[in-house]
Amino acid sequence: MRLKKLYRRHLRYPLWRLTHPLAPYEQYYAWVVTRKLKRGQAHPAIGPAAKAARGEEEMLKVLRKRGLRPQHVFVDYGCGSLRLGKPIVAFLEPGRFWGLDLAQEFLDEGIRHIGPDLDRAKRPNLRVIDETGLAAAKAARPDFIGAWHVCGKIPDRILDGFFRKVLGLMHAGTQVFLQFEDSGRREQLHGLAWSLPEEMMIAAVKRVDPQLKIDIFELSSRRHRDMRYLCAHVRY
Ligand SMILES: C[S@@+](CC[C@H](N)C(=O)[O-])C[C@H]1O[C@@H](n2cnc3c(N)ncnc32)[C@H](O)[C@@H]1O
């Protein structure tokens, strides 16, 4: 294993932990990414160099096919810098878009990404994920929630807490779409990402509430290194 890879996978987190013994894991994720952005290094998903591998409309297309309309309230959970959120902000009526993420820096990048005209016209609600941000998004009574390229960033130790937070935003009529990647087993893909086997996703959702219905469908039949590109549709 190359030294850099070894550091990212096995050393970076325990070393950070030594100086942050009580901090939540989410703070570590935000620290790794903001440090990269501050150094001017390109991040594939967040900030000025972000690119949407399957096109920026991917999430919007899935949601529209499942009934999203301009008057609906939508939460982009783990929205990053709105790489996939921007066309949804444009599609929805003003004030209907909610973007939630771990760090204000990512949301600020999101505002830069959509630009002042769209920001002024559509007034997206962008909040950090904390008690206040979650309560505000829940009070908006989302019709749809989407999380793209987020579930694979969640390690075992915070998996249940993560699903409790996302699914805790639902009301009886909310539809949730959770994109994830499944290589057939739980394995670390890089320093901050894991494969999430389908059955692990289903079990995690059911632990939040056994009454939730969950259907898994393929977002693309094209496989990269035997990885299935999937989406979980969760609803009551
Ligand atoms: C690869 S980026 C994807 C961003 C955006 N969804 C997109 O597709 O452009 C992963 C995002 O998940 C967020 N994230 C990571 N861990 C999270 C957690 N525990 N709870 C909520 N969001 C998280 C990150 O801050 C980051 O913005």
Domains held by the chain: number: 1
Q: How far apart are CA 98 and CA 210, in angstroms?
A: 27
Report whether 233 contacts 185 (CB < 8 A): no
Q: Determine, yes or no, domain membership for 25.
A: no
pLDDT tens column, 191-220 = 899 999 999 999 999 999 999 999 999 998
- Put simply, whether the predicted model's pTM sits higher than 0.85 gets the answer yes
Pocket (CB within 6 angstroms of ligand 1): 26, 29, 45-46, 78-80, 83-84, 101-102, 106, 129, 148-150, 153-154, 158, 162
Q: How far apart are CA 205 and CA 207, in angstroms?
A: 5
Closest ligand 1 atom to residue 150 Cα is: 12
Average pLDDT of the segment spanning 80-91: 98
Q: Determine, yes or no, domain membership for 48.
A: no
Q: Determine, yes or no, domain membership for 189.
A: yes
Burial of 211 (C-beta count, 10 Å sphere; 0-12/13-18/19+):
exposed
Q: Determine, yes or no, domain membership for 172.
A: yes
Q: Determine, yes or no, domain membership for 44.
A: no
Residue type at 163 in one-letter notation: F
CATH number of domain containing 201: 3.40.50.150
Average pLDDT of the segment spanning 33-47: 92
Q: Determine, yes or no, domain membership for 27.
A: no
What tokens does 107 get?
Answer: 């949301």
Q: Which domain holds residue 97?
A: 54-235
Average pLDDT of the segment spanning 135-149: 98
